[in-house]
Amino acid sequence: MIKWAIIFFVISLIAGVFGFTNVAAGARGIAKILFFIALAIFLIVLVFGVMLGMLLF
């Protein structure tokens, strides 16, 4: 998911350079949403991993 966020970020940068502001804003929004979803999934997995580690050890 981080890979897709980076791809949309790069698309946003390129579109901004060429003056396509609406495309850049859309790609930036998608990249931001994907980044925060990936961050939330990472934190959930981290918390469950710590809890599971405490139960096993």
pLDDT in the model for residue 1 = 82
Contact assessment for residue 25 and residue 15, using Cβ atoms and an 8 Å cutoff: no
Task: Cite the beta strand spans of the chain per DSSP E.
Answer: none
pLDDT in the model for residue 20 = 93
Q: What is the DSSP letter of 57?
A: -
- Domains of the chain, residue spans: 2-56
pLDDT in the model for residue 55 = 79
pLDDT in the model for residue 53 = 83
pLDDT tens series, the chain, 57 aa: 889 999 999 999 999 999 999 999 999 999 999 999 999 999 999 999 999 888 777
Give me the amino acid identity at 57.
F
Using DSSP's 3-state secondary structure scheme, residue 20 falls into coil
